[in-house]
Amino acid sequence: MKNVILICPYSEREKWIDAFGKLIPNWDIQSLEEIQNKDLITTALVWNHPKGVLKTFKNLNLICSLGAGVDHLISDPDIPKGVKITRIVDPLLSFSMSNYIIMAILQYHRKFDKYIKDQKNKVWDHNLSPEIDISIGFLGLGVLGSDAAIKLKNIGFDVCGYSLSHKKIDGINCFYGNQMKEFLSKINVLVCTVPYTPKTHNLLSEKLFNKLKTPTYLINVARGKVQNEIDIIKALDNGILTGAFLDVFEKEPLPESSPLWNHEKIKITPHIASITNAEAGAKQIIENYTRNKKNEKLINEINLQKGY
């Protein structure tokens, strides 16, 4: 039965077809170009799909995101109502994301920018205090944010976090709801790990930065649309932010004309903090496909209204 369609950028299509082929060799997955009868399609495997295309599949009952994020789905106003949506939660994603965040924090904490400049200038400055005192705050305490927060706490850092609903994480002071201002007043390193939803659009903006305890170092590994890049540059120039380590951007790839490239206080990586492992993701998708056929509870199902 040709009832599964794969919709993703062409550059990623082969790795997903290979991953599914290793697990179920006879699973017949079609692309948009190959589809002959849309009425047969019940399951869509998607990443950055053309907006509006999913509503053309009248018998669709399961949409599987090919990554941890679902912003590409919730931003589509024509997503069919009542269709179940799942995302991928992969321990390897958490491992990679936590390592990236820890790396970004340690290079700031241990003043690596200073030592890189000293090396270029052949300066041996042994008298400099080698560490910056930091208090780390996680804006978003989902799977990825919580994992990194716990690991940083175990290293010995002062860590707190904020989420919309109350969370309990051993050893971490968790703020929620209307406690955002109190949360921001206690930190000087802000790590953004929130999902992208209409409520988090441009969350990292002047309004939020003005509530920060200055100077504050910003790390964004969430989504590009969560940040206002003009406001970030302004906050850096005004001294509200001491630096920014950015892995995501409003427009990707980041245009060559973007002023972010040349700002001395900004570090840029090309959305590589964590990348979904296709084989691990394929296992979860096949599991949900099987469960859905049996009307069983799905794993990692998302609430479309909440956006996560």
**Residues annotated catalytic, as ranges:** 223, 271
Adjacent-strand bridge partners of 244: 218, 266
The tokens 């609903």 sit on which residue?
165
Distance in angstroms (rounded) separating the CA atoms of residues 84 and 23: 23
Distance in angstroms (rounded) separating the CA atoms of residues 227 and 26: 43
C-alpha gyration radius of the chain: 21
Sign for the pseudo-dihedral over CA of 164, 166, 172, 175? positive
Say which DSSP state 274 is in.
Answer: -
SS3 category, 139? strand
Q: How many CB atoms neighbour CB 91 within 10 A?
A: 11
Distance in angstroms (rounded) separating the CA atoms of residues 132 and 275: 30
Helix H or strand E encompassing 17: helix 10-23
CB 53 within 8 A of CB 7: yes
- The structure tokens listed for 176 are 């929620």
